[in-house]
Structure 1
Amino acid sequence: MSKISQQLLSGTSKAAGAPAALALEDGAVFYGTACAAAGEAFGEICFNTSLEGYLEVATDPSYAGQIITMTYPQIGNYGVNPEDAQSAAPALRGLVVRDMCTTPSNWRSKLSLHEFLRQHNVVAIEGVDTRALVRHVRDHGAQRAIISTLDLSKESLLAKVRASESLVGQNLAATVSCSKPFTHGIVDLPESHAFAQAPAPAPRFKVVAYDCGVKRSILDGLVRAGCDVTCVPWDTPAERVLQQAPDGVFLSNGPGDPEAVEGTYSQVEKLLGKVPVFGICLGHQMMCKAAGADIEKLKFGHRGGNHPVMNLRTRRVEITAQNHGFGLLFPSLGPLVPELSGGFKGHEDDLRFWVRAGIAPVVQNERFGRIQLTHVNLNDGTAEGIAFLDIPAFSVQYHPEANPGPTDAHYLFTAFARLMEGREDYLDIDIAADRLAGWKFGAEGACEEACNA
């Protein structure tokens, strides 16, 4: 910490933390101060561009094995309410912020973020130039990293991080999945969210969800779409799932390398065509792997609440919440069907070609017939969603539950319900009409109820 920073800090109520360091395997080192638990943490460095939702990010099981850098400069200013957590405990390895707020102010706050992290033994560092760090990761790619409050030697830190285990090849989904089945229904919805969300409808569908690291808000979203959910471990045999006679199967988000989660995608291959299936994030990759597709590791991934995605079927653009470091290589699903792809016969590496052409292309997959590209990332032209045309199944790479993030993609829960109803137009939904479904904002008395809570 600089002398000027020390002088400024001495005039506030915030105590100075112990020295800490962050080292990346390519030799970059950043210094700051500890702002949570003491110790050392190893993981893959990544960054999230969300302006809020730090608790939801910290407790998202998809971050298992990773050190998260928050790009917004001050984190923790509205505190922590445990009912907003996405899992029982944080799964991330460490947290990097520019400034950690230790005196939060919010009517729902129960404790500060740094206290929450300390309770769960999460190592965090503040005072880092996060703009410089994010630029470095963006230019040089995701890589192994270490946060330490015990060792500040550059040489020692680099030796440790270069000897640490890579995220690639690890089955991290197995580390965050449930150990036995459990149910999630109306009684499990957070009571403290009632000021903003309308009561859930009575369940109409019986859904089995593969828990590869599922977020609580995703299960809540399924319940609010009329589903009674039973979660099962990541490697549950397909035969056992089908014995429950579900109306649909949901494939959850999750962490790590999809190639290593063979225990899930081998079962998904047996489920496709037998029951309606909806997958998100890692669940999307599991469906792609079941169809024989190739998955690539992205340079630095997509993480944040501001990623623009176009639905090629409706031509509507969604601002989406994302958290993944791997993605589908759409051409690997099969050759194009020209008569269903605007007459085009050759694949394009940048899928924004199809955005400009106004076409949702279709390939012929050797395992499951015709598969349509439905969603494309407008930032980098990568695949964000597919729909199987000959069986009832679809998936997206991003998150529809908006915790944290925008509600543009809420319609995907509605789409899953429509798929289980057997509707062919299940994805053709006006997101402008659906994005606030179930919310009480603007309803008479909603503001007064919130203020009096």
Structure 2
Amino acid sequence: MSEIANKLLEGTSKPAPRPAMLVLEDGAAFRGTSCAAEGEVYGEICFNTSLEGYLEVVTDPSYAGQIVTMTYPQIGNYGVNPDDAQAGEPALRGLVVRDMCTAPSNWRSVLSLPDYLRDHGVVAVEGVDTRALVRHVRDCGAQRAVLSTVDVDEASLLRKVRASEPLVGQNLAATVSCEKPHAVGAGDLPASHAFAVAPAVPACHRVVAYDCGAKRSILQNLVRSGCELTVVPWDTPAEEVLAMAPDGVFLSNGPGDPEAVEGTYSQVEKILGQVPVFGICLGHQMIAKAAGAAIEKLKFGHRGGNHPVMNLLTGRVEITAQNHGFGLVFPSLGELVPELSGGFKGHEDDLRFWARAGIAPVVDNPRFGRIRLTHVNLNDGTAEGVAFLDIPAFSVQYHPEASPGPTDAHYLFTAFGRLMDGREDYLDIDIAADRLAGWTFGEQAATVAGAEGGSHA
């Protein structure tokens, strides 16, 4: 930067610029300035389209092994409250933003995002043309990348990134799972969330949750919906889980290549059919792997809080929060059952076909019987949810806990409780009525609406 530009910056909240560079393995390079910890990190480049919730993104264990680009232009403007963190430490490798706010303004803010990132040793860069970067990843696909504040030589960084380890084949779930079983209860819910979220309902179901990189808010939502929760490491033997006599088993989100997490899906295969099972994100893929399905790597993944998903059972569209780079290949679960699939006999690669047809197709799985496709991504036609018809189990590819993101999918926690109660109609829920369940502003809105209705009577 020029001397006059540096002089102008000295009079603002921005620190003196320090050069940083991001280089992708295909040779694409993006220059910027460091805005957090110093260092050099390697990972798979990805992007998140959420408008808010940057702290939840930074601390989501599902981002282990990745360098995350935020598409929203200014990040950090409302600061950081540690109660909103999804794990004790950030798991991502690095962060890329257009503009980093160093002087946040919000009544809940405890410190700035740059200070939080520095405290936790996270390398971050600002001043990058994130629109150009995202377009490049969309066109060319996910790939290895290096982010450095100590080496800004393009040729040097390109050599390094091409020699780095790819994400495919790594068991990253093992790096972010808990070390030993532990309980999560109502006493673990953040007191600072009470202004918006209602207290937990009394526990009525005993649930064991496999931690493959679980976000705190997902576990908190299980507790709020009435689960007495025991969290176990990713590779806990099925025999130990079943010996706890749970009413249900939950399979969490998590990072990386699902093919590498055999320690989980080999145990899930033993649990399916024994107790009700609910899986999300990586947990959805663990159920699919247990059923013998194939998993594909998506070109650039789904990450953000605005992904439209159609519930094929109800025809309703949910705006969902997602974070994954792999997905279920639905046809690999088995052959279609024509009499339960609108008479159709052949699979479709683009699952939006079933959304247009208004049909939730069913396959005959060699291991677990009939499995129904319940949810489809309307952006690219990939599988977003399945329900087993002959055993009590279902799963979705997205995150229903809204941290960050919309609350459309909250009904899935309600559905899990109904499944554990033995109800066959567990997924038959009015999502419009359920989406504000547990939020105090939902109760306040109902109270105001009631008062207004009374005043007009």
Q: How far did 1:350 drift?
A: 0.1
Aligned equivalent of 2:201: 201
Q: How far did 1:14 drift?
A: 1.5
Q: How far did 1:16 drift?
A: 2.6
The equivalences for 1:279-358 within 5 A come to 279-358=279-358
Aligned equivalent of 1:224: 224
Aligned equivalent of 1:438: 438
Aligned counterparts of 2:335 and 2:4: Cα–Cα separation in 1:
61
Checking the alignment, whether the CA contact within 8 Å between 1:77 and 1:103 is kept in structure 2 is yes
Q: Please say if 1:241 is aligned against 2:259.
A: no
Checking the alignment, whether the CA contact within 8 Å between 1:320 and 1:398 is kept in structure 2 is yes
Aligned counterparts of 2:295 and 2:123: Cα–Cα separation in 1:
31
Q: Please say if 1:75 is aligned against 2:67.
A: no
Aligned counterparts of 1:333 and 1:52: Cα–Cα separation in 2:
36
Q: How far did 1:11 drift?
A: 4.8
Indicate how the Cα distance of structure 1 residues 442 and 236 shifts in structure 2: closer, same or farther if over 3 A, else same: closer
TM-score, reference length from structure 2:
0.96
Checking the alignment, whether the CA contact within 8 Å between 1:44 and 1:167 is kept in structure 2 is yes
Runs of 4+ in 1 over 3 A off after TM superposition: 1-11, 442-447
Q: Please say if 1:183 is aligned against 2:179.
A: no
Aligned counterparts of 1:3 and 1:63: Cα–Cα separation in 2:
38
Aligned counterparts of 1:172 and 1:70: Cα–Cα separation in 2:
22
Aligned counterparts of 1:99 and 1:399: Cα–Cα separation in 2:
27
| Structure 2 letter corresponding to 1:423 | R
Task: Specify the SS of the correspondent of 1:429.
Answer: coil
Give structure 2 stretches of 5+ with no counterpart: 448-457
Aligned equivalent of 1:211: 211
Checking the alignment, whether the CA contact within 8 Å between 1:440 and 1:446 is kept in structure 2 is no
Checking the alignment, whether the CA contact within 8 Å between 1:265 and 1:289 is kept in structure 2 is yes
Aligned counterparts of 1:2 and 1:62: Cα–Cα separation in 2:
40
Aligned equivalent of 2:134: 134
Task: Specify the SS of the correspondent of 1:158.
Answer: helix
Aligned counterparts of 1:79 and 1:446: Cα–Cα separation in 2:
31
Q: How far did 1:4 drift?
A: 8.7
Q: How far did 1:7 drift?
A: 6.8
Aligned equivalent of 1:274: 274
Give structure 1 stretches of 5+ with no counterpart: 448-453
Indicate how the Cα distance of structure 1 residues 353 and 109 shifts in structure 2: closer, same or farther if over 3 A, else same: same
Aligned counterparts of 1:374 and 1:298: Cα–Cα separation in 2:
20
Q: How far did 1:110 drift?
A: 0.3
Aligned equivalent of 1:41: 41
Indicate how the Cα distance of structure 1 residues 85 and 336 shifts in structure 2: closer, same or farther if over 3 A, else same: same
Aligned counterparts of 1:192 and 1:274: Cα–Cα separation in 2:
38
Aligned counterparts of 1:223 and 1:316: Cα–Cα separation in 2:
27
Indicate how the Cα distance of structure 1 residues 182 and 384 shifts in structure 2: closer, same or farther if over 3 A, else same: same
Aligned counterparts of 2:4 and 2:266: Cα–Cα separation in 1:
58
| Structure 2 letter corresponding to 1:77 | N
Q: How far did 1:199 drift?
A: 1.1
| Structure 2 letter corresponding to 1:20 | A
Aligned counterparts of 2:276 and 2:3: Cα–Cα separation in 1:
61
Q: How far did 1:12 drift?
A: 2.3
Question: For each residue in 1:348-392, what CA deviation from the matched residue of structure 2 results, as whole angstroms up to 9, or x when unmatched?
Answer: 000000000000000000000000000000000000000000000
Aligned equivalent of 2:21: 21
Q: How far did 1:6 drift?
A: 5.1
Equivalent pairs, count: 447
CA RMSD of aligned residues (A): 1.5
Aligned equivalent of 1:254: 254
Aligned equivalent of 1:146: 146
TM-score, reference length from structure 1:
0.97
Q: Please say if 1:371 is aligned against 2:371.
A: yes
Q: How far did 1:444 drift?
A: 4.8
Question: For each residue in 1:49-90, what CA deviation from the matched residue of structure 2 results, as whole angstroms up to 9, or x when unmatched?
Answer: 000000000000000000000000000000000000000000
Checking the alignment, whether the CA contact within 8 Å between 2:338 and 2:344 is kept in structure 1 is yes
Question: For each residue in 1:237-273, what CA deviation from the matched residue of structure 2 results, as whole angstroms up to 9, or x when unmatched?
Answer: 0000000000000000000000000000000000000
Aligned equivalent of 1:399: 399
Question: For each residue in 1:96-148, what CA deviation from the matched residue of structure 2 results, as whole angstroms up to 9, or x when unmatched?
Answer: 00000000000000000000000010000000000000000000000000110
Checking the alignment, whether the CA contact within 8 Å between 2:45 and 2:67 is kept in structure 1 is yes
Question: For each residue in 1:147-188, what CA deviation from the matched residue of structure 2 results, as whole angstroms up to 9, or x when unmatched?
Answer: 100101111000000010000000000000011001101000
The equivalences for 1:161-172 within 5 A come to 161-172=161-172
Task: Specify the SS of the correspondent of 1:441.
Answer: helix
Task: Specify the SS of the correspondent of 2:175.
Answer: helix
Q: How far did 1:284 drift?
A: 0.1
Aligned counterparts of 1:47 and 1:444: Cα–Cα separation in 2:
35
Aligned equivalent of 2:418: 418
Indicate how the Cα distance of structure 1 residues 106 and 372 shifts in structure 2: closer, same or farther if over 3 A, else same: same
Checking the alignment, whether the CA contact within 8 Å between 2:415 and 2:427 is kept in structure 1 is yes
Q: How far did 1:17 drift?
A: 2.4
Checking the alignment, whether the CA contact within 8 Å between 2:436 and 2:442 is kept in structure 1 is no
Aligned equivalent of 1:450: none
Checking the alignment, whether the CA contact within 8 Å between 2:13 and 2:102 is kept in structure 1 is no
Aligned counterparts of 1:422 and 1:445: Cα–Cα separation in 2:
32
